[in-house]
Amino acid sequence: MKNPTPSFFKAMMAIVRKDLAAEFRSRELLSAMLVFSLLVILIFNFALELDVKVRESVTAGVLWTTFAFAGTLGLNRSMAVEKDRGCMDGLLLAPVDRSAIYFGKAISNLAFMLIVEIIVLPVYSMLYNINLFQPGLLLVILLGSIGYIAVGTLLAAMSVQTRTRDVMLPILLFPVAIPVLLASVKASSGYLNGADFAEILAPLNLLIVYDLIFIAVPLMFFEHVVEE
Domain with 213, as residue range(s), is 6-227
Classify residue 73: in a domain, yes or no: yes
Going by C-beta distance under 8 Å and a sequence separation of 6 or more, which residues neighbour residue 199? 190
Residue 1 has pLDDT above 50, yes or no: no
CA distance 101 to 106: 8
Going by C-beta distance under 8 Å and a sequence separation of 6 or more, which residues neighbour residue 67? 37, 113, 116, 117, 120, 141, 144, 145, 148
Classify residue 1: in a domain, yes or no: no
CB atoms within 10 A of CB 29: 22
Give pLDDT, residue 81: 74
Classify residue 26: in a domain, yes or no: yes
- Tell me: the pLDDT tens digits for 136-165? 999 999 999 999 999 999 998 888 877 777
Q: Total structural domains in the chain?
A: 1
Give pLDDT, residue 183: 96
Classify residue 61: in a domain, yes or no: yes
Classify residue 78: in a domain, yes or no: yes
CA distance 84 to 167: 17
Classify residue 34: in a domain, yes or no: yes
Which whole number is the average pLDDT over 24-46? 89
Query: CB-hemisphere CA count at 13 Å for 150?
Result: 23
- Tell me: the pLDDT tens digits for 177-224? 999 999 999 999 999 988 899 999 999 999 999 999 999 988 887 777
Classify residue 188: in a domain, yes or no: yes
pTM: 0.90
Classify residue 60: in a domain, yes or no: yes
